[in-house]
Structure 1
Amino acid sequence: MASNAIGTPEQLRDPNYTPALHRAIPLGIQHVLAMFVSNVTPAIIVAGAAGFGFGSNSPDFPELLYLIQMSMLFAGVATLLQTITLGPVGAALPIVQGTSFAFIPIMIPLVAGKGVDGLAALFGGVIIGGLFHAVLGLFIGKIRFALPPLVTGLVVTMIGLALVKVGIQYAAGGVPAIGTPEYGSLLNWSAALVVIFVTLGLKFFTSGMLSISAVLIGLIVGYFYALGVGILDWAAVTGSWERSAAFALPQPFKYGFEFSAAAVIGFCLMAFISAIETVGDVSGITKGGAGREATEKEIEGATYADGFGTALAGVFGGFPNTSFSQNVGLIAMTGVMSRHVVTCGAIFLIVCGLIPKVGGVIRTVPIEVLGGGVIVMFGMVVAAGISMLSDVNWNRRNMVIFAISLSIGLGLQLEPAAVAGLPDTARILMTSGLLPAAFLAIILNLILPEELTEESTEEVSGGLHGHGKGALAADDGR
């Protein structure tokens, strides 16, 4: 669709411009397609970690359905806070909110094997962490110095590395299936590979809506493949549809509220990372869509919406929300900066969240098919982290900071029994991997001297030189 059919160049750069409805609605749904799978996947992962049964006859079926429903509903609500705004809350920019992957390594240890009983503490942490996140909006600009690319790149990379194991397990047949003859079978892997190959084909050999929706279309093709080869029983699809209500409202404190020190500390610490990611996304939107820097008011409003959107979601059983980076790229590609376009997408998400039958259909996606999709998505998270790390000057100082933080963080994640002697709260925080890695990187980056010795400024691998605390490279003539 040519941009000049939508509006003039000046109008397209204006967040307050409203395209004609017949153009705004498809553009808004395009934003939803770009983030839909990523938005509902955390709910399925957390449900699996909690031990929920995935079958339509499982007693946990309504709970899984509800978590998926809330992911859609409150992604839409949080997006409306960004686009329509509520007082100082919201950036008045086309920011799409969705369930954050960053918090999954924190959430999994909180609910592991506990079923519904683990959700009260988790959502208690979501609510308090969301309010803390909103408070960050008061001074977000003042703490950015503590989170240079060395730190944020490390954390984003760690998020992806923490999740790739889940993708492989899902592709092999799902964590609950370990020990059964089907786990790791070629049939299971064939479904995952169909999704991966279709996604790659669409992403690199098509353009427009097909390319943007590559993961979603890949999952749909994988879904029908699973039906064809018998991985998915059609009776399970019809059973899920029949057991799902046509309309349902969210229930406040459905799972109760429990104060857990591990949950609260974990969510509050991760809020720092999420806030910085949002700052980056806001800057990307204004640069890519309007060719200007983001204002302080926009950054503060976006952070407020992040936090209050998360806290509100936690009240009703939703997960932490954050701005979605894939939609930032979509704005740069389409050149349409209108926040009202994204508002149309938010309304579509809210409608889906109020119709449990939509969640019922999503729930029938076989775990093997979902595994193919999340392998792609989680791999992209790692790639995004590595891309951020490319802005780091790899001198000896920064290499040591990265090496120690990654070794301890990833090591504790891979071998949680190493800290079995710690109290429960400390053990959960340490074995997340993310928090010890981020803490070490931040502290070391702040305390290690910028004035390096002559030996420390020698060239290291690749001929790179160092210039400071994870800052961007100075112009040295290269």
Structure 2
Amino acid sequence: MSGSPAPSPASPLANPAEARDPDYFPGLSAAIPLGIQHVLAMFVSNLTPPIIVAGAAGFGYGSADPSQLIYMIQMSMLFAGIATLLQTVGAGPVGARLPLVQGTSFAYVPVMIPIVAGKGVGAMAALTTAALIGGLFHAVLSRFVGRIRFALPPLITGLVVLMIGLSLMRIGVQYAAGGVPAIGTPAFGAGQSWLLAGVVVVATLGLKFFARGIWSTASVLLGLLAGYGAALAMGRISFDAVGTSPWVMVPTPFHFGFALSASAIAGFVLTGFVSSIESIGDVEAICEGTARRKASDGELQGAVAADGVGTALAAVFGAMPNTTFSQNVGLIAITGMMSRHVVTLGALFLVLCGLLPKIGAVVTTIPIEVLGGGVIVMFGMVASAALSMLSAVEWNQRNMLVFGVSLSLALGLSLEPEALSHLPETARILLGSGVLPAAFLAIVLNLLLPQGAAGAEIAAAPAILAEGH
């Protein structure tokens, strides 16, 4: 590693060519704040999936014993750090050796919720076992990335990311309105609830567009702090869980037990394929956008393998599945610093946080409405990122049909799950997620339908309809 100094993150880079090298090290004075900035950019998104899953199961916010939620939060930080180290440092064929930040994946949330919904902590055994098996499958899938790359154009990847955002938006509104599982909060939809969520949204947008540097990059985290301050002034914060939690937490293997569920395993295996689509897009974005070169098959295979191994390892200790974080790819584009060693320092900080349960206990004191304001922004940005990806698509009639039919069926099934009530449990979980049917229907249609014009009659249909009005 080079020890040459570099300017501060807020100033232009002295040597952009060096900064585009993943093996470049800018020196500790620049690397430490840049590494912490990566952690701040992903921190809230990393903790949100376990909070959502615990809430769906019934042991989340407001439960009599928050210890299991605190454990899940800690493991999310710890194994996000470990999975990130797999990406930046690598281990044999595992890891892209690129500045990729790993964290708990939103892609799996639509599949995880029906697995645990209302079933308590006991359902977590089936979930984490399925995540372990799905992670191993994901790692094996990495060896075939080069062969399936052709089947994943922006039309497919953009649709998948869009469905992830759309499938989660209802959760954001429920949280912002103070709904279940927020026990002891005002009535669902009360003005006080929306006030707290509104403080978060307004503060986040204000900092993002009117502040600079780390104040802008960490706008979601700082927006949550603003909402937290408002909740504290309103007497909505209790620190009882912080006082009773230990200082150090050691992860325990199979913390939630081991249980096989065919529907859960099928969901995780198939979602692992969807998650690999996200990771491929992130690697290509970081290589083309910052390094100004195409990603190699080795980098793509290593990145997807790290996803799978990181997910399997996290599952053994009761944590959520991992994937690459797109917001950190965007952060690299902003700073121009592609050093993997910078991200390694951030990963070590995450590992340290994961071993200190006082941090997780503080997170559980955040009112559900405050978290709701944050996730409304995050889920909206997921959908916006998808639209950016879809802007690269040539919107001819064929692609419009592939996209439209896939989105219509997948979104409709997720909005009306009772339409699947007579199907077996496995089919209900897979088809009701929204993400999986959208991905696989779009891939099949894209491979089967001929390229080129979709037919004069179809192409002329919009004009005919317009004339009729």
TM-score of the superposed pair, with normalisation by structure 1: 0.91
Question: Matches of 2:180 and 2:136 in 1, distance apart?
Answer: 33
C-alpha contact (below 8 Å) 1:99/1:321 kept by paired residues: yes
Residue 43 of structure 2, aligned match among 8, 31, 36:
36
Question: What is the CA deviation profile of residues 372-416 of structure 1, one whole-angstrom value per residue up to 9, with x for unaligned ones?
Answer: 000000011111122222222333322222222222211111111
Q: CA RMSD in A?
A: 2.0
Question: What is the CA deviation profile of residues 342-363 of structure 1, one whole-angstrom value per residue up to 9, with x for unaligned ones?
Answer: 0100000000000000000111
Question: Matches of 2:109 and 2:460 in 1, distance apart?
Answer: 38
Residue 120 of structure 2, aligned match among 115, 127, 135:
115
Residue 207 of structure 1, aligned match among 202, 206, 212:
212
Match of 1:290 in 2: 291
CA-CA distance at 1:25 after TM superposition: 1.2
C-alpha contact (below 8 Å) 1:177/1:183 kept by paired residues: no
Alignment of 1:86-165 (within 5 A): 86-165=91-170
C-alpha contact (below 8 Å) 1:396/1:460 kept by paired residues: no
Match of 2:203 in 1: 198
Match of 2:350 in 1: 349
CA-CA distance at 1:50 after TM superposition: 0.5
Unaligned segments of structure 1, at least 5 residues: 463-478
C-alpha contact (below 8 Å) 2:51/2:60 kept by paired residues: no
CA-CA distance at 1:287 after TM superposition: 2.5
AA of the residue aligned to 1:175: V
C-alpha contact (below 8 Å) 1:98/1:321 kept by paired residues: yes
Secondary structure of 1:322's match? strand
Match of 2:187 in 1: 182
C-alpha contact (below 8 Å) 1:97/1:321 kept by paired residues: yes
Question: What is the CA deviation profile of residues 263-321 of structure 1, one whole-angstrom value per residue up to 9, with x for unaligned ones?
Answer: 11111111122112111211222233322222221111111111101110010011111
Alignment of 1:25-424 (within 5 A): 25-55=32-62, 58-176=63-181, 182-230=187-235, 232-233=236-237, 236-237=238-239, 239-424=240-425
Question: Matches of 2:222 and 2:122 in 1, distance apart?
Answer: 35
Question: Matches of 1:299 and 1:439 in 2, distance apart?
Answer: 21
Secondary structure of 1:175's match? coil
CA 415–2 in structure 1, closer or farther in 2 if over 3 Å, else same: closer
AA of the residue aligned to 1:76: G
CA 180–30 in structure 1, closer or farther in 2 if over 3 Å, else same: closer
CA-CA distance at 1:438 after TM superposition: 1.8
CA-CA distance at 1:187 after TM superposition: 0.5
Question: Matches of 1:25 and 1:460 in 2, distance apart?
Answer: 58
CA 2–394 in structure 1, closer or farther in 2 if over 3 Å, else same: closer
Secondary structure of 2:143's match? coil
Question: Matches of 1:456 and 1:207 in 2, distance apart?
Answer: 52
Match of 2:26 in 1: 19
C-alpha contact (below 8 Å) 1:16/1:340 kept by paired residues: yes
Question: Matches of 1:161 and 1:222 in 2, distance apart?
Answer: 24
Question: Matches of 1:428 and 1:105 in 2, distance apart?
Answer: 9
Secondary structure of 1:102's match? helix
Question: What is the CA deviation profile of residues 29-54 of structure 1, one whole-angstrom value per residue up to 9, with x for unaligned ones?
Answer: 00000000000000100011001142
Question: Matches of 2:461 and 2:422 in 1, distance apart?
Answer: 39
Secondary structure of 1:373's match? helix
TM-score of the superposed pair, with normalisation by structure 2: 0.93
C-alpha contact (below 8 Å) 2:161/2:278 kept by paired residues: no
Question: Matches of 1:358 and 1:213 in 2, distance apart?
Answer: 18
AA of the residue aligned to 1:430: L
CA 179–209 in structure 1, closer or farther in 2 if over 3 Å, else same: closer
Unaligned segments of structure 2, at least 5 residues: 1-7, 464-469
Once structures 1 and 2 are overlaid, which stretch shifts more, 205-214 or 147-156?
147-156
Match of 1:473 in 2: none
AA of the residue aligned to 2:121: V
Once structures 1 and 2 are overlaid, which stretch shifts more, 262-271 or 219-228?
262-271
Once structures 1 and 2 are overlaid, which stretch shifts more, 147-156 or 4-13?
4-13
Question: What is the CA deviation profile of residues 174-222 of structure 1, one whole-angstrom value per residue up to 9, with x for unaligned ones?
Answer: 3235998621111110000000000000111111101100000000010
AA of the residue aligned to 1:193: G
C-alpha contact (below 8 Å) 2:155/2:393 kept by paired residues: yes
AA of the residue aligned to 1:16: D
Secondary structure of 2:106's match? coil
Question: Matches of 1:389 and 1:279 in 2, distance apart?
Answer: 15
Aligned pair count reads: 456
AA of the residue aligned to 1:132: F
Match of 1:470 in 2: none
C-alpha contact (below 8 Å) 1:288/1:331 kept by paired residues: no
Secondary structure of 1:98's match? strand
Question: Matches of 1:177 and 1:341 in 2, distance apart?
Answer: 38
Alignment of 1:407-446 (within 5 A): 407-446=408-447
Secondary structure of 2:103's match? strand
Question: Matches of 1:178 and 1:249 in 2, distance apart?
Answer: 29
Question: Matches of 1:133 and 1:436 in 2, distance apart?
Answer: 18
Question: Matches of 1:146 and 1:291 in 2, distance apart?
Answer: 23
AA of the residue aligned to 1:400: L
Question: Matches of 1:411 and 1:457 in 2, distance apart?
Answer: 23
CA 417–2 in structure 1, closer or farther in 2 if over 3 Å, else same: closer
CA-CA distance at 1:460 after TM superposition: 7.3
